[in-house]
Amino acid sequence: MNDTIRILIIEDMPTDAELSEREVRNALPHSVFLCIETEEEFLAAMESFAPDVILSDYSLPRFDGMKALALARQHAPETPFIILTGSTNEETAVACMKAGAWDYVIKEHIRRLGPAVLAALNQKKVRRERLAATEALHESANLLRIAGRMAHLGGWIVNLPENRVIWSEEVAAIHDMPPGYSPRLEEGINFYTPEWREKIETVYSACAREGAPYDEEMEILTARGRRIWVRVFGEAIRDGSGTIIRLQGAIQDITDRKAAEADLQRGFDKLRKTIGAAIRTLAATVEMRDSYTAGHQKRVADLARRIAREMSLVSDKVLGLGLAALIHDIGKIAVPAEILSKPTKLTDIEFSLIQQHAQAAYDILKDMEFPWPVAEIIYQHHERLDGAGYPRGLKGEEILMEAKIITVADVVEAMSSHRPYRAGLGMEAALEEIKKNRGIRYDPAVVDACLHLFREKGFTFS
């Protein structure tokens, strides 16, 4: 990052403030700092200094980090807020993260401050890109609505005994013909471009002979040589004896709509690319904080997609599933890095904090307008069929199929890989776990597809 980053430090110890400034400057050379101690100074700085990141000591004589956090969430909720504390107390960590801190850093591990600030800024950037992409999509959709209102629609009648076409002035305008002009049938059909002429002759003949109605979108060449898209409707009118005596219908110039649809599709394609880039950024953010699980999310995503294809899920669902799997642990950015990388068994409090990552992920993603239920899929990926999972204890059909697939892929990858607190248990142990709990914790169809991939098709993690 080459732009100047404004860092607000809430600290009453000059030496601690200098240490924080040094660590941040190592990661972000183009940074400016402002150090304050009181609530009055903090409120003034929020207005005049407009910080990009706030670093706050947990406890100060006349102010404290938790109060500053509450004020920051009120005045600038999108500004990353990182707590600095000298305490290693787990209850303090839990309280900070629950109150809305983006991260917390123990002063003994002050060297983690620079990477923590970088991670927070990256997360802030992703949120802004997501908002911009959503606004672009809304703009494209609005263009489509405007094109619909501006479309012209005209009526026509074909008198079969006279073989003559009568059309309204709107139809004449669409064809660039003088108002009131009524061509013969052959002239009307000749307006259609060669690639569409056979189609209109086929549906028109079926309507004239059998009374079969039609509704088609085609291309015509107007009297002035303009190529335009039209929607044509036709139906048969019969006399008292049932004989078809005329055809009637309508024609609508949909050229603007076609153009708008193409623009919307381009906008949607661009949005999907933006979403993909945002997803990859989020995934990298998690892995930057937790090096032991670097690559874990990608491997889970690879296996989840293969399982989904083995189960013949539609391609659009496979795409949404893959994106969800790629960031299924995004909620771990709310878990202190010291806990994620702890080389010994976690305490109950530490484990409960890690369990909050599913809820944290949902809170981060719930307002993102994905074409798929990404937030809900990730929210459910630690649920189990028998209700023994977390955070909501969902059972059976309450759990989305995409979440069931990620669950199995996550278990297999996690058990077979190394973790800070244990060596990898091996692939056979992982496959035995899902086989043993098939239909109990894990969906039977998902388990069968996973076992088939490894044992019959030779799937391996790349």
Q: Residue 205: which H helix or E strand, with range?
A: helix 194-210
> Of the candidates 396, 373, 370, 394, which has an alpha carbon nearest to the alpha carbon of residue 382?
394
| Number of Cβ atoms within 10 Å of the Cβ of 261 | 16
Which residue in this structure is represented by tokens 């055809």? Answer: 247
219: left (phi over 0), alpha (psi -120 to 50) or beta: beta
> Of the candidates 262, 281, 267, which has an alpha carbon nearest to the alpha carbon of residue 133?
267
> Of the candidates 283, 281, 302, 306, which has an alpha carbon nearest to the alpha carbon of residue 453?
306
Distance separating alpha carbons of residues 116 and 426, to the nearest angstrom = 33
Distance separating alpha carbons of residues 296 and 25, to the nearest angstrom = 31
Q: What is the pLDDT of residue 149?
A: 39
Distance separating alpha carbons of residues 460 and 28, to the nearest angstrom = 40
Q: What is the pLDDT of residue 138?
A: 59
Residues 6+ positions from 22 with CB-CB distance below 8 Å: none
Chunked mean pLDDT (size 10), the chain, 462 residues:
81 87 87 90 89 86 84 86 78 78 82 86 80 64 39 75 78 78 68 86 89 90 88 89 88 85 75 71 70 76 94 90 88 77 76 84 85 91 93 94 95 84 80 94 96 92 81
Q: What is the pLDDT of residue 128?
A: 79
Distance separating alpha carbons of residues 274 and 140, to the nearest angstrom = 15
List the domains of the chain with CATH numbers: 5-134 (3.40.50.2300), 152-253 (3.30.450.20), 290-455 (1.10.3210.10)
Q: What is the pLDDT of residue 345?
A: 77
Distance separating alpha carbons of residues 367 and 438, to the nearest angstrom = 34
Q: What's phi and psi for 104, nearest 5 deg? A: -140, 145
DSSP 336-358: -HHHHT-SSPPPHHHHHHHHTHH
User: How does strand 53-57 pair with strand 164-167?
Assistant: unpaired
Distance separating alpha carbons of residues 265 and 253, to the nearest angstrom = 20
